[in-house]
Amino acid sequence: MTGDGILPEVKTPFRMLSELHISLEKLKSQIRNHEKSAISSKVLSDIIIEPGNPPKANILEVSGMRLSKKISSSQALELSHKLHSEPNDSNARLELLGLFLESVDQTDLIAARDAYLLSLLELESPYLNSTKINTAVSTQSIYLKKLVLQLEEDLQVSEQKKKKLTKGNQGFSKEIFKIKGGVSYMKELLSILDAPRVQCQFKLDLRPGNLGKKLPTIDLVNGYNPFLRTLCYIPPADTSRNRILEILKLLESRNPLIGYHESKIHEIKGRIRFAEALIIKEEEKINRAVHQITKAIN
């Protein structure tokens, strides 16, 4: 969030994906710091180590404490404390996200954003499965819908303020025009990123040491292809997409769908760029969108 408590993508919806990437990197940095601390603790095992600070409830943090505080369940708080001690506990994180999905109507936009980012954090792991991907699909949809509702509420407030003013409402006119553009953009993204769910339960180990040219057909049919098809619709999931693409390129002769997947990735990126370009009407942005769509066609 910004200093005044407003999410940056509420102020500037066109920067939503960039802001999500920034927040995701912060979470990954927190995990790296925890791992370094754990290594130091092992080296200094004979020295008494003071326990870490309790998880903070007012910021985005790898424990998900801010999210758990908005879920009316003592279990959510327990899971956050567990994640604070061991941020790589995938089961605890997925369990917390499951509790969020059960109480969506009682949570706000910030909670939805936190849940989405925690689900994206799961897609950073080389241990990928259907549950992780489908959880990201669900939280992405919830987050986008709540963001649209927030922008629509802001638009309504600005329009009401404008009506009350008899003079000097030019500033509000510009603000209303800006918010309307943001609403249109986010609604278009909600449509573009309507991701298909992975239909069967499957898991993949994408660690580099396990990569090879001999993959069982069942892994391609139930894992790599359906996983990548869905990940195309989750823009911040670069790590998982790139891992799978790298593997499938080694098997292109056996799996010609790799071309389809690459085309779909370019198509989604191009449609997102067009959504912004057609609202902002900047020639450079339109050209970039055309270039991306051309790559998809090629």
- Residues 202, 203, 204, CA angle at the centre, nearest 5°? 135
Task: Say which DSSP state 72 is in.
Answer: S
CB atoms < 10 A from the CB of 257, how many? 16
More confident residue, 142 or 207: 142
- Position 253 confidence tier, pLDDT thresholds 50, 70, 90: low
| Whether pLDDT at 177 is above 50 | yes
**Position 95 pLDDT exceeds 80:** yes
| The predicted structure's pLDDT at residue 5 | 67
Average pLDDT over residues 123-129: 97
Residues sharing a CB contact under 8 Å with residue 257, sequence separation 6 or more, in sequence order: 225, 248
pLDDT of amino acid 137: 98
Confidence (pTM): 0.91
Going by pLDDT thresholds of 50, 70 and 90, the confidence category of residue 170 is low
Most confident segment among 31-45, 53-67, 164-178, 184-198: 184-198
Calculate the average pLDDT of the chain.
88
- Across residues 221-233, what is the average pLDDT? 95
CA–CA gap between residue 107 and residue 97 (Å, rounded)? 12
Confidence band for 158, pLDDT divided at 50, 70 and 90: confident
The angle at the Cα of 181, spanning 272 to 268, to the nearest 5 degrees, equals 5
Burial class (CB in 10 A: 0-12, 13-18, 19+), 245: middle
**CB of 226 within 8 A of CB of 187?**
no
